[in-house]
């Protein structure tokens, strides 16, 4: 569609009724730096759709109908700095979907249907701190209902300064997670890294000792009889432990 516009640097297609975009849509736009696709009817992104846009720095996809983010959706976007995916229908982000976004500084996922994030999601983002948007604090808006206890890793990232909450330019809201059941992210109590696994190992050890104790007790209650019948030796076990 835009193959002859190889020199184009900014393309505004927001507030239309585009149902989809494909690799052919943006083929040849190697100089494009800003692409605005917000407030359309886009329900999915084909693999490789933006792969020709190697100079792209800003991509706005907010306000569409996208339900999932998959590997291949953002291939070759090594220079991308801003990715706005807020106010879609996203309920799942495939592991590795953001792996090629080495320059990303702003990622907005507010206003979707997500409940948790995989710790590997941000592993390849070298920009520090990453400005992250996860919920809109305006109560009348649809937003993610986060299982905050499953995201203690993100709390530690915040404390270390590797991420900070993005402040929306449109309504000046701080987009930190809004926890399910009305919990507040700032009041979330998380164990120190490694503490949970240590506790689990301790509980497993105690459980093993208890099982061993009862096993020894049971064996002590067993009465063993040897019965020989037709040259076959049988073990007959009677136990007062089992009544």
Region 49-69: mean pLDDT is: 96
Task: Tell me: do 32 and 128 sit in the same domain.
Answer: yes
pLDDT of residue 126: 67
Per the structure, the count of domains in the chain is 2
pTM attached to this predicted model: 0.76
Task: Tell me: do 106 and 209 sit in the same domain.
Answer: no
Task: Tell me: do 135 and 224 sit in the same domain.
Answer: no
Task: Tell me: do 87 and 160 sit in the same domain.
Answer: yes
Task: Tell me: do 59 and 7 sit in the same domain.
Answer: yes
Q: Are 144 and 112 in contact (CB under 8 A)?
A: yes
Task: Tell me: do 139 and 216 sit in the same domain.
Answer: no
Task: Tell me: do 67 and 15 sit in the same domain.
Answer: yes
pLDDT tens, position by position, 152-176: 999 998 998 889 998 876 656 678 8
Q: Are 137 and 113 in contact (CB under 8 A)?
A: no
Task: Tell me: do 127 and 147 sit in the same domain.
Answer: yes
Task: Tell me: do 126 and 28 sit in the same domain.
Answer: yes
pLDDT tens, position by position, 12-42: 999 999 999 999 999 999 999 999 999 999 9
Task: Tell me: do 166 and 105 sit in the same domain.
Answer: yes
Domain that holds residue 126: 1-190
């Amino acid at each position: 569609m835009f193959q002859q516009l190889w020199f184009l640097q900014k393309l505004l297609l927001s507030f239309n009724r585009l149902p989809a975009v494909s690799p052919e849509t943006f083929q040849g736009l190697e100089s494009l730096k800003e692409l605005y696709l917000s407030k359309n009817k886009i329900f999915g992104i084909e693999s490789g759709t933006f792969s020709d846009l190697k100079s792209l720095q800003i991509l706005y996809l907010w306000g569409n109908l996208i339900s999932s983010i998959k590997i291949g959706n953002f291939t070759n976007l090594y220079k991308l700095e801003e990715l706005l995916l807020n106010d879609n229908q996203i309920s799942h982000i495939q592991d590795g979907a953001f792996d090629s976004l080495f320059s990303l500084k702003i990622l907005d996922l507010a206003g979707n249907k997500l409940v948790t994030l995989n710790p590997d999601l941000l592993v390849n983002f070298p920009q520090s701190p990453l400005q992250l948007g996860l919920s809109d604090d305006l109560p009348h808006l649809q937003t993610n209902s986060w299982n905050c206890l499953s995201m203690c890793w993100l709390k530690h990232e915040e404390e270390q300064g590797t991420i900070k909450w993005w402040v929306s330019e449109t309504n000046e809201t701080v987009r930190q997670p809004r926890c399910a059941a009305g919990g507040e992210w700032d009041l979330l109590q998380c164990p120190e890294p490694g503490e949970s696994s240590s506790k689990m190992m301790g509980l497993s050890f105690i459980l093993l000792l208890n099982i061993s104790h009862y096993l020894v007790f049971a064996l002590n209650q067993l009465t063993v009889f040897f019965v020989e019948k037709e040259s076959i030796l049988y073990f007959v076990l009677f136990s007062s432990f089992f009544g």
